[in-house]
Each structure stands twice: as structure tokens, then as C-alpha cells.
């Protein structure tokens, strides 16, 4: 049983996995390798002069894995409620998790398939997004959403930031106290 299953390993998903894995939560992250970020050449991401999209996506997955997340290159095809959470049915078998974060980018098909409330998007070139509350919660308790599929501006600094924000809200709910992840510079 995983504490958190994340669907999508683009900036939003991998950023969420970095936080949940670093917080000591058993984290599994699935990806079907269709990130549109792979087509980007990013020169407007704070703190990074410029980076090619494929490098950003690969680096994000590696960082999440280094912090303890399990990265599974598989498509999630269905999600069913189970006694203590959810069963995720993927191309690579089924997995159990207590909570789920959708970070599926342009794709809202799985969300609609399992009954998540969606709505027309307002960002350019985006069709449908998942209807979330201010914390990133959907209409199904235990399922959250972040990034492009949650309706935020389609820029890596924003989608990565939203993935982190929603992960922190989920961690705070799981831990019953507001979560903070600060590392301090070692004394010289
Ligand atoms: C041509 C182009 C240029 C761009 N240039 C810039 C730029 O210069 N600066 C900038 O800030 N942003 C730019 N962007 C936007 C940015 O790259 C991303 O769109 C944004 O960050 C999206 O992040 P995301 O994590 O929400 O989605 P994505 O990065 O698209 O990740 C979603 C992931 O979910 C996976 N997925 C979906 N459904 C499933 C499923 N059922 N099971 C498993 N996995 C699933 C997909 O395979 C994908 O890997 C550009 C985008 C494009 C297309």
C-alpha cells in the first residue's frame, strides 16, 4: 500500500512526488511519457537560465526517484475505490494507494472516466480541466489534482509550483498539522 499515487511525471507530478517522497510518504508516480513539456525550450523558469524540455522532465523524475519515489512508466487506465483507499489499474499491473494526485497535463479522459467533475478550460489551447477547490481537492474524497489539468497557467514554474502546493496541502491533511519542508544551509 502506497501513501500517495501520482499520475503524470511532468513538472506538476514530479514536483508533487519530490515533496511527498521527501516527507517520508510511500510514493509511486506513473507516467505514459506524453509530456508536452518535452517540446518546450524553457528560458523563463526562475533560477534556471535555460533548459530543454526533455532535460527538465528527466531531471524531475530523477530527483523524485533520488528522494524515494517509485517511478513507473505505465498508463493508469482505471481507478476503483478500495477499503482503505484506491486501486489503480495500469498497463503494468494494479497498485494500492491511500490518496491520489492527478497531474495528467492536457489529458482529462481518465478523470472523466472515474467520475471526477470537470469543466471547460480557460487557459489557451487547453480543452478540459478537473474542477478543484482552493486546496486542489476534487469531488472524490482522497483524490487531488495539480498543474495544467487543474486549470493553472501552462508554464513550468506555475505547474511545478502547483504540484508542490497541492502536495503540501495533502501532507498537511495526512499529518494533521501544516507541513513545512525547509533545509538549512550547513554552517561554513
Ligand atoms: C511547444 C511548447 C512550448 C512550451 N514552452 C514553454 C516555455 O518556454 N516556458 C514554460 O514555462 N512553459 C512552456 N510550455 C508549457 C510547459 O511545458 C507545460 O505545458 C507545463 O509545464 C505542463 O506541465 P504538467 O505537469 O501540467 O503537464 P505535462 O508536462 O504534459 O505532464 C503530464 C504527464 O501526464 C502523463 N499522463 C497523462 N495521462 C496519464 C495516465 N492516464 N497515466 C499515466 N500518465 C499519464 C503524460 O504522459 C505526461 O507525461 C510549453 C509547452 C509547449 C507545448
As a whole number, the mean pLDDT across the chain is 98
Q: Where are the domains of the chain?
A: 2-175
Q: Find the 46 Cα to ligand 1 centroid distance in Å.
A: 17
* Pocket of ligand 1 from Cβ distances under 6 Å: 7-13, 30-37, 39-40, 42, 44-45, 53, 75-76, 103-105, 107, 110, 147-148, 154-157, 159
Question: β-strand 27-30 against 70-72: which pairing, if any?
Answer: parallel
Residue 139's pLDDT is: 98
Average pLDDT over residues 63-91: 98
Residue 119's pLDDT is: 98
Residue 82's pLDDT is: 96
Percent of the chain with pLDDT over 70: 100
pLDDT tier at 43 (50, 70, 90 boundaries)?
very high
Residue 113's pLDDT is: 98
- Taking the CA of residue 8 as reference, the ligand 1 atom at the shortest distance is 34
| Per-residue pLDDT tens digits for 55-71 | 999 999 999 999 999 99
Percent of the chain with pLDDT over 90: 99
**In a mutational test of the pocket of ligand 1, which residue from 88, 130, 152, 154 has the highest number of ligand atoms less than 8 Å from its CB?**
154
Residue 135's pLDDT is: 98
Angle at 54 between CA 132 and CA 169, to 5 degrees: 25
**SS3 readout for 60-120:** HHHHHHHCCCEEECCCEEEEEEECCEEEEEECCEEEEEEEEEECCCCCCHHHHHCCCCEEE
| Per-residue pLDDT tens digits for 102-139 | 999 999 999 999 999 999 999 999 999 999 999 999 99
Residue 6's pLDDT is: 98
Write down the architecture of domain 2-175 according to CATH. 3-Layer(bba) Sandwich (3.50)
Q: Find the 151 Cα to ligand 1 centroid distance in Å.
A: 13
**In a mutational test of the pocket of ligand 1, which residue from 45, 59, 105, 149 has the highest number of ligand atoms less than 8 Å from its CB?**
105
CA distances from 176 to 39, 90, 114, 171 (A): 39, 31, 28, 8
Angle at 94 between CA 60 and CA 55, to 5 degrees: 15
| Per-residue pLDDT tens digits for 150-187 | 999 999 999 999 999 999 999 999 999 999 999 999 99
Amino acid at each position: 500500500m502506497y501513501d500517495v499515487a501520482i499520475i503524470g511525471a511532468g513538472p506538476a507530478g514530479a514536483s508533487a512526488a519530490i515533496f511527498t517522497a521527501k516527507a517520508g510518504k510511500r510514493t509511486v508516480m506513473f507516467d505514459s511519457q506524453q509530456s508536452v513539456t518535452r517540446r518546450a525550450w524553457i528560458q523563463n523558469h526562475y533560477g534556471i537560465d535555460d533548459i530543454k524540455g526533455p532535460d527538465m522532465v528527466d531531471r524531475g523524475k530523477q530527483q523524485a526517484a533520488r528522494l524515494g519515489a517509485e517511478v513507473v512508466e505505465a498508463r493508469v487506465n482505471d481507478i476503483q475505490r478500495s477499503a482503505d483507499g484506491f486501486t489503480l489499474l495500469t498497463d503494468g499491473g494494479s497498485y494500492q494507494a491511500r490518496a491520489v494526485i492527478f497531474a495528467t497535463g492536457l489529458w482529462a479522459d481518465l478523470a472523466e472516466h472515474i467520475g471526477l467533475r470537470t469543466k471547460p478550460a480557460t487557459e489557451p489551447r487547453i480543452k478540459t480541466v478537473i474542477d478543484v477547490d482552493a486546496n486542489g481537492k476534487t469531488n472524490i474524497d482522497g483524490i487531488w489534482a495539480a498543474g495544467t489539468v487543474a486549470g493553472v497557467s501552462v508554464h513550468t514554474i506555475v505547474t511545478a509550483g502547483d504540484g508542490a502546493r497541492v502536495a503540501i496541502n495533502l501532507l498537511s491533511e495526512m499529518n494533521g498539522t501544516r507541513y513545512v519542508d525547509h533545509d538549512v544551509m550547513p554552517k561554513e
